[in-house]
Copies of this chain bind each other. A is one copy, B any other.
Amino acid sequence: MASDALVPETSVLAVASHVVYGYVGNKIATIVMQSLGCDVAALNTVHFSNHTGYRQFKGTRATAQEISDLYQGLCQSNLTDFDVMLSGYAPSAAAVEAVGAIGLDLQQKAQKAPGSFFWVLDPVMGDQGRLYVNDDVVPAYKNIIRYADLILPNQFEAEVLSGIKITSLKTLAEAITAIHKTYSVPHIIITSVQLSKFTSETSSSPNSLTVIGSTTRSDGSPRLFRIDVPALDCYFSGTGDMFSALTVARLREAVFATGPDLRNVKSWVSPDEVAPTDLPLAKSTVKVLESMHSVLEKTLEARDAELRTTSSDSASVNEEEKRKQENLRQSKAAEVRLVRNARFLREPTASFQAQEWRKEDLPESLQ
């Protein structure tokens, strides 16, 4: 790999889960960011044998105190010169608060140099209409999001944060507008919206996913862009973490590419005249999705090949055990194939484009 395939030097503090086997949380985020040239400090919020999609795992969760202690360990030895913090899964409301305190402290340390620190927050709470964290984690996230520069909720998490049920492009735009306003968060990406599920937008292909992003203008209004990508016919764990890790690397690269001005602006918010599809956030998200699609296509091929050569333990007689073994086999086969395909992160084979929203897809307040 030539060094010019790497993003500008970036020191990242990544706070998320660790699994011994497989690729989710910090385990996937670390290799993704390192492959693009980022120096990653990994503070692990859990230490599990494998991801929870296997429906069984062993391991330990870090307490809020342990998370704070590790950060204090960095502080006392002057090891906090991070350009970006990426925070993901935290195993309790107290742990979310501890992570929030770290983000806030790093932000305060960087106060005299606007733009020198940027916090990407993935508010991991649930998916598909269901919380998979304790109820008290929701208010904990609502308290810390106001300090983040970019948040990456999925559709369900955006509903939880905005209080708006997303059933159409219009309600989606309303939810993003509400999140910008309520939490003063300058950048939002809503990862994987399935527009075909919206009854009013039947023209969308059921085989495509849409990613929606926005950077706020100075009046608080959103600058909305969308990117449609073909969906792959498999559920892969860890893709949210892969998305956020790629975003860290590619957004900083895109901001640096605009010249020296923007990177010295608090939260890297582009001037009002920059159109939605010209935003560094839009440009980086295109690259992120190209990399993801390329690696996931390779993963799908490898998964299919693995499933053809393995079979569930036929010794199991009872149906429940058979289903369990089959899920284990499917989960293992669907682990993201990152190591042998790292070059596709840097030089993806897919090619996508960001689009502005059509006026008729916006709520009246934004037209």
Contacts and interface: CB of A to CB of B under 8 A. Distances in A.
A148 interface: no
Contact of A60 (B21, B66, B331): B66
A21 B74 contact: yes
B49 A339 contact: no
Given A9-B340, A39-B339, A343-B1, A69 B59 contact: yes
- Number of copies of this protein chain within its complex: 2
Nearest to A78: B328
Interface string A331-344: 11000000110110
A223 interface: no
A263 interface: no
A339 B70 contact: no
A73 B47 contact: no
A39 B339 CA distance: 6
Nearest to A81: B332
Contact of A340 (B3, B50, B66, B343): B3
A59 B73 contact: yes
Interface string A54-89: 101111101000100111111011110000000000
Contacts of A40: 339
A41 interface: yes
A54 B77 CA distance: 7
A70 B332 CA distance: 17
Contacts of A18: 18, 42, 44
Interface in A326-360: 328-329, 331-332, 339-340, 342-343
A100 interface: no
Contacts of A30: 30
B58 A43 contact: no
Nearest to A38: B339
A20 interface: yes
Contacts of A20: 13, 41-43, 70, 73-74
Contacts of A78: 328-329, 332
A58 B69 contact: yes
A59 B70 contact: yes
A364 to B, nearest CB: 49
A77 B56 contact: yes
Contacts of A37: 339-340
A38 B41 CA distance: 21
A160 to B, nearest CB: 30
A27 interface: yes
B339 A79 contact: no
28 contacts: A1-B1, A3-B340, A18-B44, A20-B41, A21-B77, A22-B79, A30-B30, A39-B340, A47-B47, A48-B70, A49-B70, A49-B71, A49-B77, A50-B73, A50-B74, A50-B79, A54-B77, A56-B73, A56-B76, A56-B77, A57-B73, A57-B77, A59-B69, A77-B328, A77-B331, A77-B332, A78-B328, A78-B332
Given A18-B44, A20-B73, A21-B77, 16 more contacts: A20-B41, A20-B70, A20-B74, A21-B74, A34-B34, A38-B339, A39-B339, A39-B340, A40-B339, A47-B62, A56-B73, A57-B73, A57-B77, A77-B328, A78-B332, A79-B332
Interface of A: 1-3, 6, 9, 13, 18, 20-22, 27, 30-31, 34, 37-44, 47-50, 54, 56-60, 62, 66, 69-74, 76-79, 328-329, 331-332, 339-340, 342-343
